[in-house]
Each structure stands twice: as structure tokens, then as C-alpha cells.
Amino acid sequence: MKGFDLLVTKVLLNERLFLVDDFKESTSKNGHIISFTFEVKSEVYHDVTTLLYEGKFLVELPEKNEKFTGTIQEYSTSVTNLYEAGNVGVFKLSLIKHF
């Protein structure tokens, strides 16, 4: 169906599952971009940031049956102190698709 976008709620980065909100696809001078937000609990903060520092990922969008290599174009976090137990921060990630 033309103009119909699947609701994407799951993104895998190097086989790690993220439940995402505000998923968007766009095009820029650098190529095709996907952007989304996701919550990170203090208990997994270190693991998530270590993964993101890799910068390049096998990206899987299971609801779209799509896989590609992606690199970080933009990355930001809320100001939540994730070193305090029980806190949850919001991360925003934009990836450039490489096919």
C-alpha cells in the first residue's frame, strides 16, 4: 500500500534488542537515515554506551524484515544521572544506512 509505513518498535544493533519510540526515516545529503529514541535504565547504561561507542552496527528492523550496516550520524541523551540506581534516561540515535 503506497504511503503506508510500518510501525517500527524494535531495532537490533549488533543483535542487541532495543524497544524504540519515535522511529523515523528520512533522506539527507549523506544518504538514508533512521532515527529513534529508546529508554536506558541505569543497570544497563554501561553496556549500552559501550555498544554505541563502536559506532558501526549490523542494524535489524524485524518488523520491516530489513537488515543493513549503519553508522552513527547523531547521538544524544537526556540529562538523567544514570550512575544512580533506578534512573532511566532517554537516548536519541540517528544512523546512516549503508546497503
Q: What is the pLDDT of residues 50-63, one digit of tens each?
A: 999 999 999 999 99
- The rounded mean pLDDT for the chain is 92
Q: What is the pLDDT of residues 13-41, one digit of tens each?
A: 999 999 999 999 999 888 999 999 999 99
pTM of the full structure: 0.90
Q: Is the pLDDT at 72 greater than 90, yes or no?
A: yes
**Exposure string (b/e) for 31-65, b if CB count within 10 Å is 16 or more?**
eebbbbbbebebeebeebeeebeeeebebbbeeee
The full set of domains in the chain, from first to last, is 10-98 (2.40.30)
